[in-house]
Amino acid sequence: MLLEYFQMVDRIEAIDPAADTIRTVCNVPMQSPVFMGHFPGFPRLPGALMIETMAQTGGWLVLARLKFVKMPFLTRVESAKLRRFVEPGEILNGEATLVHDGSGFAVIEAVISSGGQKVASAEIRYVVGPFPNDTIRGAMLFKAREIGFPADCLPEVRPPEDRPPEDRPHAE
Amino acid sequence: MASTFDQVADIIADTCDIDRDKITPESHAINDLGIDSLDFLDIAFAIDKAFGIKMPLEQWTQEVNDGKVSTEEYFVLGNLCRHIDLLREAKAA
Protein backbone atom coordinates (compact mmCIF):
# COMPACT_ATOMS: atom_id res chain seq x y z
CA MET A 1 0.00 0.00 0.00
CA LEU A 2 1.02 3.57 -0.66
CA LEU A 3 -1.41 5.18 1.75
CA GLU A 4 -0.45 8.75 0.96
CA TYR A 5 -1.11 8.08 -2.74
CA PHE A 6 -4.36 6.22 -2.02
CA GLN A 7 -2.96 3.14 -3.73
CA MET A 8 -4.19 0.24 -1.65
CA VAL A 9 -3.63 -2.85 -3.82
CA ASP A 10 -0.10 -4.26 -4.14
CA ARG A 11 -0.78 -7.35 -6.19
CA ILE A 12 -3.53 -9.07 -8.13
CA GLU A 13 -3.53 -12.65 -6.95
CA ALA A 14 -6.20 -13.92 -9.32
CA ILE A 15 -9.02 -12.77 -11.56
CA ASP A 16 -11.65 -15.32 -12.58
CA PRO A 17 -13.69 -13.85 -15.43
CA ALA A 18 -16.14 -16.74 -15.46
CA ALA A 19 -16.93 -16.38 -11.77
CA ASP A 20 -16.55 -12.57 -11.80
CA THR A 21 -14.23 -12.64 -8.83
CA ILE A 22 -10.90 -11.10 -7.93
CA ARG A 23 -8.38 -11.65 -5.17
CA THR A 24 -5.80 -9.07 -4.17
CA VAL A 25 -2.95 -8.68 -1.73
CA CYS A 26 -2.65 -5.41 0.17
CA ASN A 27 0.35 -4.95 2.49
CA VAL A 28 -0.19 -2.45 5.26
CA PRO A 29 3.10 -0.52 5.60
CA MET A 30 4.99 -0.44 8.87
CA GLN A 31 5.30 3.32 8.66
CA SER A 32 3.29 6.07 7.04
CA PRO A 33 2.47 9.70 7.79
CA VAL A 34 -1.12 8.50 8.00
CA PHE A 35 -0.28 6.59 11.18
CA MET A 36 1.24 9.68 12.78
CA GLY A 37 -2.24 11.12 12.98
CA HIS A 38 -4.26 7.92 13.17
CA PHE A 39 -3.42 7.68 15.93
CA PRO A 40 -0.45 9.14 17.83
CA GLY A 41 0.95 6.28 19.87
CA PHE A 42 -1.69 3.89 18.50
CA PRO A 43 -1.17 3.42 14.78
CA ARG A 44 -4.09 1.78 13.01
CA LEU A 45 -5.25 1.64 9.40
CA PRO A 46 -8.17 4.11 9.13
CA GLY A 47 -11.54 2.51 8.55
CA ALA A 48 -12.04 4.80 5.59
CA LEU A 49 -8.95 3.21 3.99
CA MET A 50 -10.25 -0.28 4.70
CA ILE A 51 -13.32 0.73 2.71
CA GLU A 52 -11.07 2.21 0.02
CA THR A 53 -9.15 -1.08 -0.12
CA MET A 54 -12.38 -2.95 -0.75
CA ALA A 55 -13.48 -0.37 -3.32
CA GLN A 56 -10.19 -0.63 -5.20
CA THR A 57 -10.24 -4.42 -5.12
CA GLY A 58 -13.69 -4.34 -6.70
CA GLY A 59 -12.70 -1.52 -8.99
CA TRP A 60 -9.88 -3.54 -10.53
CA LEU A 61 -12.38 -6.33 -11.21
CA VAL A 62 -14.67 -3.91 -13.02
CA LEU A 63 -11.71 -2.59 -15.04
CA ALA A 64 -10.70 -6.14 -15.94
CA ARG A 65 -14.20 -6.99 -17.18
CA LEU A 66 -14.27 -3.83 -19.27
CA LYS A 67 -10.65 -4.19 -20.42
CA PHE A 68 -10.06 -0.57 -19.54
CA VAL A 69 -12.61 0.78 -22.01
CA LYS A 70 -14.37 2.54 -19.13
CA MET A 71 -13.62 3.05 -15.47
CA PRO A 72 -15.60 2.71 -12.23
CA PHE A 73 -16.15 5.58 -9.82
CA LEU A 74 -17.26 4.90 -6.26
CA THR A 75 -20.84 6.05 -5.60
CA ARG A 76 -22.17 4.12 -2.66
CA VAL A 77 -21.03 1.95 0.21
CA GLU A 78 -23.67 -0.28 1.75
CA SER A 79 -23.60 -2.40 4.87
CA ALA A 80 -19.93 -1.71 5.62
CA LYS A 81 -18.65 -3.63 8.60
CA LEU A 82 -15.26 -2.93 10.08
CA ARG A 83 -14.76 -5.81 12.45
CA ARG A 84 -11.46 -5.05 14.07
CA PHE A 85 -8.44 -2.77 13.98
CA VAL A 86 -5.77 -3.36 11.36
CA GLU A 87 -2.20 -2.72 12.44
CA PRO A 88 0.90 -1.67 10.51
CA GLY A 89 2.61 -4.63 8.90
CA GLU A 90 -0.51 -6.75 8.43
CA ILE A 91 -1.04 -8.46 5.10
CA LEU A 92 -4.61 -8.03 3.92
CA ASN A 93 -6.24 -10.33 1.39
CA GLY A 94 -8.97 -8.67 -0.62
CA GLU A 95 -11.75 -10.50 -2.38
CA ALA A 96 -14.55 -9.08 -4.49
CA THR A 97 -17.40 -10.61 -6.43
CA LEU A 98 -19.51 -8.88 -9.03
CA VAL A 99 -23.10 -8.88 -7.81
CA HIS A 100 -24.66 -6.97 -10.67
CA ASP A 101 -23.42 -5.71 -14.02
CA GLY A 102 -25.79 -2.83 -14.71
CA SER A 103 -25.86 -0.48 -17.67
CA GLY A 104 -23.55 2.30 -16.58
CA PHE A 105 -23.11 0.95 -13.08
CA ALA A 106 -21.73 -2.03 -11.21
CA VAL A 107 -22.24 -3.56 -7.77
CA ILE A 108 -19.72 -5.74 -5.98
CA GLU A 109 -19.46 -7.43 -2.62
CA ALA A 110 -16.04 -7.20 -1.07
CA VAL A 111 -14.25 -8.65 1.90
CA ILE A 112 -10.80 -8.08 3.33
CA SER A 113 -9.21 -10.68 5.56
CA SER A 114 -6.05 -10.99 7.58
CA GLY A 115 -4.61 -14.28 8.74
CA GLY A 116 -7.69 -16.04 7.42
CA GLN A 117 -10.07 -13.91 9.46
CA LYS A 118 -12.53 -11.44 7.97
CA VAL A 119 -11.72 -7.91 9.09
CA ALA A 120 -14.12 -5.92 6.91
CA SER A 121 -16.86 -6.32 4.34
CA ALA A 122 -19.15 -4.10 2.29
CA GLU A 123 -21.32 -3.83 -0.77
CA ILE A 124 -19.75 -1.30 -3.10
CA ARG A 125 -21.52 0.46 -5.98
CA TYR A 126 -19.87 2.29 -8.83
CA VAL A 127 -20.99 4.40 -11.72
CA VAL A 128 -19.11 3.26 -14.82
CA GLY A 129 -18.15 5.82 -17.41
CA PRO A 130 -15.49 7.02 -19.82
CA PHE A 131 -11.99 7.76 -18.60
CA PRO A 132 -11.79 11.53 -18.02
CA ASN A 133 -8.58 11.72 -20.07
CA ASP A 134 -5.72 9.67 -21.54
CA THR A 135 -3.43 10.52 -18.64
CA ILE A 136 -5.51 8.73 -16.06
CA ARG A 137 -6.12 5.79 -18.37
CA GLY A 138 -2.42 5.46 -19.08
CA ALA A 139 -1.53 5.68 -15.41
CA MET A 140 -4.07 3.02 -14.50
CA LEU A 141 -2.83 0.69 -17.23
CA PHE A 142 0.71 1.17 -15.99
CA LYS A 143 -0.38 0.40 -12.43
CA ALA A 144 -2.37 -2.61 -13.59
CA ARG A 145 0.72 -4.12 -15.22
CA GLU A 146 2.78 -3.25 -12.14
CA ILE A 147 0.45 -5.16 -9.79
CA GLY A 148 0.28 -8.21 -12.04
CA PHE A 149 -2.87 -7.87 -14.08
CA PRO A 150 -3.34 -10.96 -16.27
CA ALA A 151 -2.62 -10.15 -19.91
CA ASP A 152 -6.03 -11.33 -21.04
CA CYS A 153 -7.67 -8.73 -18.80
CA LEU A 154 -5.76 -5.88 -20.42
CA PRO A 155 -6.68 -4.20 -23.68
CA GLU A 156 -5.12 -5.76 -26.74
CA VAL A 157 -2.00 -4.03 -27.96
CA ARG A 158 -2.07 -3.97 -31.71
CA PRO A 159 1.28 -4.31 -33.43
CA PRO A 160 2.47 -1.01 -34.97
CA GLU A 161 1.85 -2.13 -38.53
CA ASP A 162 -1.84 -2.75 -37.73
CA ARG A 163 -2.41 0.69 -36.29
CA PRO A 164 -3.57 3.70 -38.28
CA PRO A 165 -0.61 5.82 -39.52
CA GLU A 166 -1.14 8.51 -36.92
CA ASP A 167 -0.82 5.91 -34.10
CA ARG A 168 2.36 4.24 -35.32
CA PRO A 169 5.64 5.00 -33.55
CA HIS A 170 7.82 7.24 -35.67
CA ALA A 171 11.44 6.37 -36.49
CA GLU A 172 14.03 8.64 -34.80
CA MET B 1 -49.47 -10.56 -8.11
CA ALA B 2 -48.53 -6.89 -8.04
CA SER B 3 -48.43 -5.05 -11.35
CA THR B 4 -45.17 -3.84 -12.82
CA PHE B 5 -46.11 -0.30 -11.87
CA ASP B 6 -46.88 -1.24 -8.27
CA GLN B 7 -43.54 -2.99 -7.93
CA VAL B 8 -41.64 -0.09 -9.50
CA ALA B 9 -43.51 2.46 -7.38
CA ASP B 10 -42.74 0.49 -4.22
CA ILE B 11 -39.07 0.37 -5.19
CA ILE B 12 -38.98 4.11 -5.77
CA ALA B 13 -40.80 4.87 -2.53
CA ASP B 14 -38.47 2.63 -0.56
CA THR B 15 -35.22 3.62 -2.28
CA CYS B 16 -35.80 7.36 -2.36
CA ASP B 17 -38.01 7.77 0.70
CA ILE B 18 -40.85 9.26 -1.35
CA ASP B 19 -44.46 9.08 -0.24
CA ARG B 20 -45.99 6.17 -2.15
CA ASP B 21 -49.20 8.14 -2.75
CA LYS B 22 -47.28 10.71 -4.76
CA ILE B 23 -46.05 8.14 -7.26
CA THR B 24 -48.39 7.67 -10.21
CA PRO B 25 -48.00 6.24 -13.73
CA GLU B 26 -47.95 9.84 -14.98
CA SER B 27 -45.13 10.84 -12.64
CA HIS B 28 -41.86 11.91 -14.27
CA ALA B 29 -39.07 10.42 -12.18
CA ILE B 30 -36.86 13.50 -12.44
CA ASN B 31 -39.20 16.43 -13.00
CA ASP B 32 -42.01 15.36 -10.65
CA LEU B 33 -40.36 13.12 -8.08
CA GLY B 34 -37.02 14.91 -7.90
CA ILE B 35 -34.96 11.76 -8.35
CA ASP B 36 -31.34 12.56 -9.17
CA SER B 37 -28.91 10.49 -11.25
CA LEU B 38 -27.40 8.71 -8.27
CA ASP B 39 -30.78 7.75 -6.86
CA PHE B 40 -31.83 6.57 -10.30
CA LEU B 41 -28.91 4.13 -10.37
CA ASP B 42 -30.07 2.71 -7.05
CA ILE B 43 -33.57 2.38 -8.48
CA ALA B 44 -32.19 0.76 -11.61
CA PHE B 45 -30.28 -1.78 -9.53
CA ALA B 46 -33.39 -2.64 -7.57
CA ILE B 47 -35.53 -2.91 -10.72
CA ASP B 48 -32.90 -5.04 -12.51
CA LYS B 49 -32.85 -7.40 -9.52
CA ALA B 50 -36.60 -7.50 -9.00
CA PHE B 51 -37.41 -8.29 -12.62
CA GLY B 52 -34.27 -10.20 -13.63
CA ILE B 53 -33.44 -7.76 -16.41
CA LYS B 54 -30.75 -5.26 -17.33
CA MET B 55 -32.27 -1.95 -18.30
CA PRO B 56 -30.14 -0.45 -21.10
CA LEU B 57 -29.78 2.92 -19.36
CA GLU B 58 -26.79 3.99 -21.42
CA GLN B 59 -28.63 3.33 -24.65
CA TRP B 60 -31.73 5.16 -23.41
CA THR B 61 -29.65 8.13 -22.26
CA GLN B 62 -27.92 8.29 -25.65
CA GLU B 63 -31.30 8.27 -27.44
CA VAL B 64 -32.45 11.19 -25.32
CA ASN B 65 -29.18 13.08 -25.82
CA ASP B 66 -29.36 12.48 -29.58
CA GLY B 67 -32.87 13.92 -29.65
CA LYS B 68 -34.42 10.67 -30.89
CA VAL B 69 -36.84 10.56 -27.95
CA SER B 70 -37.83 12.89 -25.14
CA THR B 71 -37.07 12.18 -21.50
CA GLU B 72 -40.72 11.25 -21.05
CA GLU B 73 -40.17 8.08 -23.06
CA TYR B 74 -38.13 6.50 -20.29
CA PHE B 75 -38.67 8.60 -17.20
CA VAL B 76 -42.46 8.85 -17.05
CA LEU B 77 -43.17 5.83 -14.91
CA GLY B 78 -45.96 4.42 -17.05
CA ASN B 79 -43.62 4.41 -20.03
CA LEU B 80 -40.76 3.02 -17.96
CA CYS B 81 -42.96 0.13 -16.87
CA ARG B 82 -43.90 -0.57 -20.48
CA HIS B 83 -40.22 -0.85 -21.35
CA ILE B 84 -39.62 -3.08 -18.35
CA ASP B 85 -42.38 -5.39 -19.54
CA LEU B 86 -40.83 -5.50 -23.01
CA LEU B 87 -37.47 -6.44 -21.50
CA ARG B 88 -39.11 -9.18 -19.46
CA GLU B 89 -40.87 -10.55 -22.53
CA ALA B 90 -37.65 -10.48 -24.52
CA LYS B 91 -35.86 -12.37 -21.78
CA ALA B 92 -38.63 -14.97 -21.57
CA ALA B 93 -38.68 -15.52 -25.32
ipTM of the modeled complex = 0.89
Measured between beta carbons, the chain B residues lying within 8 angstroms of A107 are 45
Whichever domain contains A61, its CATH number is 3.10.129.10
Residues B71/B60, Cβ–Cβ less than 8 Å: no
pLDDT surpasses 90 at A165: no
pTM of the model: 0.89
Q: How many CB atoms lie within 10 A of CB B87?
A: 18
Residue A85 domain flag: yes
Q: How many independent structural domains does chain B possess? A: 1
Q: How many independent structural domains does chain A possess? A: 1
What are the pLDDT digits (tens) for B61-79? 999 999 999 999 999 999 9
How far B50 CA sits from the closest chain A CA (Å)? 12
| Structural domain containing residue B21 | 4-92
| Structural domain containing residue A162 | 3-131+150-167
Whichever domain contains B75, its CATH number is 1.10.1200.10
Q: Is there a catalytic annotation at residue A170?
A: no
Q: What are phi and psi of B52, to 5 degrees?
A: 65, 35
Measured between beta carbons, the chain A residues lying within 8 angstroms of B59 are 103
What are the pLDDT digits (tens) for A125-143? 999 999 999 999 999 999 9
Measured between beta carbons, the chain B residues lying within 8 angstroms of A127 are 38, 41
Q: Which B positions 52-91 lie with beta carbon below 8 A of chain A?
A: 54-59, 61
Contacts 24+ apart (CB under 8 A), A109-118: A110/A54, A110/A55, A110/A57, A110/A58, A111/A54, A112/A26, A112/A50, A112/A53, A112/A54, A112/A57, A114/A86, A114/A90, A115/A90, A118/A83
What are the pLDDT digits (tens) for A84-127? 999 999 999 999 999 999 999 999 999 999 999 999 999 999 99
* pLDDT on residue A172: 44
